[in-house]
Amino acid sequence: MCMQTFTEKLEVSTSGELDIIDITGRIQEIVKRSRVRDGTVTVFVAGSTAAITTIEYEPGLRSDMQRALSMLFPKDLEYEHHKRWGDYNGHSHIRASFIGPSITIPITDSSLTLGRWQQVVLIELDVTPRRRSLVVKIMGE
C-alpha cells in the first residue's frame, strides 16, 4: 500500500483555566477514518496557552496535575507579559511552553499504541473558556 497523509481539524471547547480534556477517542476515530494502518499521528494545538500530553485520565490525577501547574508556575507572581499586555495570563503562556503544544504517537494495526491507562489530553491553560483548534495529521500506509 502507498504512503499517504490525512488531516482533520479537531475543535474542542474548554470550560476554563486548568480544564483537562480526554481527546483519545476523537483521535482514534480520525485514525480509523484515515484508513492508515501503520504510521504516526501528530496532534498539535494552534495557540500559545494550551498544551497536549498524556496522563491516566481520572479525577484524582486531574486534580494533582492542576496543583502541580499552580505550584510550579504561580499565578500571583508579577509577569512582564501582563505588565505589557494587561491580559493576566503570563503564567498560562509559561505553563504551555513547558508542557508543549503537540505529541506524535505511533499507529499500528489502525490503533494508537497507548498504554491501557494512558490517555491523550488537551490542557486549557488560559484564564477563560476557549474554543481550541487542533490539527490531527496522520502519515502512513
Binding site for a second copy (CB under 8 A): 2-5, 7, 38-40, 42, 44-48, 53-56, 58-61, 63-65, 67-68, 72-73, 77, 79-85, 90, 93-94, 96-108, 113-115, 117-118, 133, 135, 137, 139-141
Give the integer Cα–Cα distance in Å for 4 and 93: 34
Burial of 49 (0-12, 13-18, 19+ CB in 10 A): buried
Least Å distance, CB 36 to a second copy, is: 9
Unique residue bearing C-alpha cell 505588565: 83
Measured from the CB atom, is 13 or 113 closer to a second copy?
113
Rank residues 97 and 128 by Cβ distance to a second copy and give the closer one. 97
- The dihedrals phi and psi of 19, each to the nearest 5 degrees, come to -65, 135
